């Protein structure tokens, strides 16, 4: 496999061809914010938080789905990128109903953490307060559409790791939402194996264990990552 050399934030970097910019950035101990990225499943560039600037083009690129090229010059943190990331976080908060104080994921929420990271202490956009439902039909878990940010982690881990294909994205535009089965109640989807992987990977309080109260959601990323990597490196049948 050939080696590609590029420059990231004034650092000379050498990585294998086919490596994504996100992986190259992380290999140097640098970071860019992400919400949809999850090691072990396919990238989708849904959250747009990992946008980076490339010399020679005004078009920003999502680092998670852009492969390195010889001679690339990459900037991961510019005033433009900082403004875009804050705006994205603000839009995620205002288009849903994220009331942190009464959320099961309060204190263990990636969206909340990124809001602090990008310096969001208030929203410059009006809140929309959409009417969204909560699905408590499953025996063990719940789905709160009010807190879903459409990162599709649950969809991909269910499809690519568990192989159950319970989750999908339905509808379009502002009506777009995660659906179970053929837009059925989660508890009625016979394909669900009750594994809980979707709950473990949810970055917010959208998917949760029944019985969790405010600030009581605690994910287990290390255990889940072990499961993802095990599935990635072995042949298996769902």
Q: Is 202 in the same domain as 174?
A: yes
169 Cβ contact list (under 8 Å, min separation 6): 150, 152, 155, 176, 177, 178, 179
Whether residue 234 is predicted with pLDDT greater than 70 in this model: the reply is: no
Q: pLDDT tens digit string along 173-188?
A: 989 999 999 999 999 9
For residue 222, is it within any domain? yes
* Token digits of residue 74: 């990459």
The larger pLDDT score, comparing residue 100 to residue 221, is at: 100
Tell me, yes or no, if the pTM score tops 0.75. Answer: yes
77, 112, 141 — which closes off a domain?
77
The structural domain count of the chain equals 2
């Amino acid at each position: 496999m050939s080696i590609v050399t590029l420059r990231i934030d004034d650092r000379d970097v050498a990585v294998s061809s086919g490596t994504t910019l996100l992986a190259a950035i992380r290999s140097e101990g640098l970071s860019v914010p992400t919400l949809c990225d999850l090691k072990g499943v396919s990238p989708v560039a849904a959250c747009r938080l990992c946008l980076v600037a490339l010399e020679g083009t005004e078009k920003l690129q999502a680092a998670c789905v852009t492969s390195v090229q010889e001679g690339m010059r990459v900037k991961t943190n510019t005033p433009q990128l900082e403004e875009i990331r804050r705006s994205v976080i603000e839009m995620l908060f205002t288009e849903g109903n994220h009331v942190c104080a009464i959320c099961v994921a309060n204190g263990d929420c990636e969206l909340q953490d990124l809001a602090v990271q990008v310096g969001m202490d208030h929203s410059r956009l009006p809140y929309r307060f959409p009417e969204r439902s909560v699905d408590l039909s499953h025996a063990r878990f719940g789905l709160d559409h009010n807190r879903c940010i459409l990162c599709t982690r649950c969809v991909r881990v269910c499809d690519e790791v568990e192989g159950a294909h319970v989750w999908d994205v339905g509808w379009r535009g502002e009506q777009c939402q995660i659906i179970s089965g053929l837009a059925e109640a989660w508890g009625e989807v016979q394909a669900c194996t009750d594994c809980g992987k979707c709950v473990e990977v949810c970055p917010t309080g959208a998917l949760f264990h029944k019985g969790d109260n405010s600030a009581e959601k605690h994910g287990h990323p290390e255990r889940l990552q072990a499961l993802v990597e095990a599935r990635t490196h072995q042949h298996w049948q769902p």
